[in-house]
Amino acid sequence: MLKAFRLAFFIGLVAGALLPTGVRAATPAIDVLHVDGTIVPVVAGYIDRGIEQAETRGSSIVIIELNTPGGLMDTTQTIVERIMNAHVPVVVYVSPKGAWAASAGTFITLSAHIAAMTPGTTIGAAHPVAGGGEEIPEEQMKKITEFSAKWMKTIAEDRGRNIEEAQLAVTESKSFTDVDALNLNLINLRADNLESLIAQLNGMKVTLATGEEIILNTEGYMLDRTEMSFVERFLYAISDPNIAYILLSLGTLGIMGEIYSPGSFFPGIIGGISLLIAFYSLGVLDAYWGGVLLILLAFAFFVAEILTTTFGLFTAGGITSLVIGSLILFPGAGPVGQVDWWLIAISVICITAFFVFVINRVIRAHRHQPSSGREELVGKTAVVKIALKPKGVVFIEGERWTAESEKGRVEPEEEVIITKVDGLKLWVTKKE
C-alpha cells in the first residue's frame, strides 16, 4: 500500500512538472520586427537576427512590420533569401496607414509566406535605378530590368501570387493600393491593425522551404517585439544620405580647423571621428566617390586660401568644387538616396561664411604687421597654440612663432608676454 502511494505521488510530481511545459509549448509565440526607413545592410542583419532567434526558440510566427521607400538591391536580395529559406512562417505586414513598401519593399513583401497590408497603404514602383553615381547605358539598364523582372517572377511563382502584375511593378513601375493588391492576388489579406492581422492568420496554411506544411495557430498567442539593438539603431541612423553629408562636412571642417589652429585638439578629434563615420555611411549608401573627392578638394582649396591668401581665387574654386561634389554625391540613387537640396544650400553657405571669416582675419593680420622690426614684439601679448614645455608655438598678430617659456609649462590658449626676441624664437613668460 505504501509503495503504491509513493508511486502515485511520484507520478503526480512528474505530471505536475510536465503540465506547465505542455501548456507553454501549446501557447503560440509571435515575434514582431519593425522596419521603418531605407533598406540598408543593418536592416538585413536585424531581420536575420530576428528570424534566427525565432527559429532557435521555436516561435510560431515572425511578423515584419514594414514601411520603406526602397533601398539597396544587394541588401534586398539578402533579406528575400533569408525570408524564403526561413524555418518559421514569416509574415510581412505593410503598416501603418499611409505607409508604403516601394521598390525594394515590394520584393520583400511578396517574398513572405503571407503578405498583408493595412488599408491606405501602397506597394509597387520596383523598377531598378542606377546607384553609385555612374551613368548606366540603356542596353545595360534593360538587362538589369529584365533580370529584376525574372527575379520577381520567381518570387511570385513560389508564393503563388499574380506573376504578371508582380512583374509590371518592375518593368512599368506599377503601384498598387491595398485593395488592388488583394484583388490581384499580390497579397493574402488586409488588416486594420496587428491584432486583426493575428486573428486572420489563425488557421492559415503555409509551406516552408523544407516542404513542411504548417497550419498557423494564433489562439491565446504570446507577443514578443524584437527591437533593434543600440548598435543597430546607431548604424541605421547614420545610414542616411543627409546624415552622411553632414558628417562628411563636419569631419572635414574639424580637420581643417585643427590645421588652422594646431594644438586645440578638440576640432581635430571631432573631425576625425565624424570623417570615419561618414566614410562608413557613404560606403553603405554606395556613394559616388567622385563627389566625395570634390568635397574634400573644396576644403583643400579653402586651406590653400588661408595659407597663401590669393584674395579669392582658391575660395571661388572651393565653393565651386563643394557645390558640384554635393550635387553628384548620390546622383543616380533616386529620391531614397538623395541629399536634400536645402541641406546642401545651408551647408555651402555656412562653410563658405566660416572660411571667408577666417581668410578675412588672416588678411587683416598681414596688413597690420609690425613696421619697426621684431623688437616691437617685446612686451606684447601672444596666445599659446602648442603647449610650452618649455618649447612650443605661440600666435601673435597673424603669425605663428616658435617660443620658449622662461618659467614653467604654459597650456594652449593661455596668454603670455613676450620678453625677448632671439632670431626666429620668442622668449615668453606667463601672463599673470
Q: Could you tell me which residue, 232 or 254, shows the higher pLDDT?
A: 232
In a domain, 21, yes or no: no
pLDDT band with cut points at 50, 70 and 90 for residue 372: very low
Q: Is residue 317's pLDDT more than 90?
A: no
pLDDT tens column, 72-106: 888 999 999 999 999 999 999 999 999 999 999 99
What's the confidence (pLDDT) of residue 133? 44
Residues 425 and 395 in one domain: yes
Residues 263 and 389 in one domain: no
What's the confidence (pLDDT) of residue 332? 54
What's the confidence (pLDDT) of residue 137? 65
344, 367, 390 - which closes a domain: 367
In a domain, 42, yes or no: yes
Residues 185 and 298 in one domain: no
Nearest CA among 417, 411, 421 for reference residue 431:
417
In a domain, 313, yes or no: yes
Residues 282 and 409 in one domain: no
171, 204, 232 - which closes a domain: 232
In a domain, 3, yes or no: no
What's the confidence (pLDDT) of residue 290? 84
Residues 182 and 98 in one domain: yes
pLDDT band with cut points at 50, 70 and 90 for residue 331: low
Mean pLDDT rounded to a whole number for the chain: 83
Among 5-14, 106-115, 300-309, which range has the highest average pLDDT? 106-115
For residue 142, what is the domain's CATH number? 3.90.226.10
In a domain, 20, yes or no: no
| Mean pLDDT to the nearest integer, 410-416 | 88
Phi then psi dihedrals of residue 400, to 5 deg: -105, 135
| Mean pLDDT to the nearest integer, 349-366 | 71
Structure-block grid coordinates of residue 35? 522596419
In a domain, 10, yes or no: no
What's the confidence (pLDDT) of residue 399? 80
What's the confidence (pLDDT) of residue 121? 96
Q: Is residue 16's pLDDT more than 50?
A: no
Q: Is residue 293's pLDDT more than 50?
A: yes
317, 343, 367 - which closes a domain: 367
In a domain, 296, yes or no: yes
How many residues would you count in the chain? 432
For residue 382, what is the domain's CATH number? 2.40.50.140
What's the confidence (pLDDT) of residue 19? 39
What's the confidence (pLDDT) of residue 17? 42
Judged by average pLDDT, the poorest of 159-168, 200-209, 310-319, 320-329 is 310-319
In a domain, 217, yes or no: yes
Nearest CA among 278, 395, 268 for reference residue 347:
278
pTM of structure: 0.71
Percent of the residues in the chain that have a pLDDT greater than 90, as a whole number = 37
Judged by average pLDDT, the poorest of 122-126, 225-229, 297-301 is 297-301
Using the 8-state DSSP alphabet, how is residue 114 labeled?
E
Judged by average pLDDT, the poorest of 181-195, 367-381, 391-405 is 367-381
pLDDT tens column, 137-156: 677 778 888 999 999 999 99
pLDDT tens column, 181-223: 999 999 999 999 999 999 999 999 999 988 899 999 999 889 9
What's the confidence (pLDDT) of residue 6? 47
How would DSSP label each residue in 396-420? ETTEEEEEEESSS-B-TT-EEEEEE
Catalytic annotation, residues = 103, 143
Residues 408 and 387 in one domain: yes
Residues 159 and 276 in one domain: no
Q: Is residue 170's pLDDT more than 90?
A: yes
Residues 86 and 212 in one domain: yes
Residues 346 and 401 in one domain: no
pLDDT band with cut points at 50, 70 and 90 for residue 263: low
Residues 143 and 248 in one domain: no
| Mean pLDDT to the nearest integer, 351-372 | 65
Judged by average pLDDT, the poorest of 30-39, 171-180, 192-201, 382-391 is 382-391
Quote the domain boundaries for residue 292.
Answer: 240-367
Q: Which residues contact 33 (CB under 8 A, 6 or more apart)?
A: 46, 47, 50, 62, 63, 64, 65, 226
Residues 357 and 384 in one domain: no
pLDDT band with cut points at 50, 70 and 90 for residue 371: very low
Phi then psi dihedrals of residue 97, to 5 deg: -55, 135
Residues 48 and 103 in one domain: yes
The alpha helices in 160-210, defined as continuous H runs, are 163-171, 178-183, 194-201
Q: Is residue 108's pLDDT more than 90?
A: yes
Domain count, the chain: 3
Instruction: Kindly give the pairing relationship between strand 205-207 and strand 222-225.
Output: unpaired
What's the confidence (pLDDT) of residue 73? 86
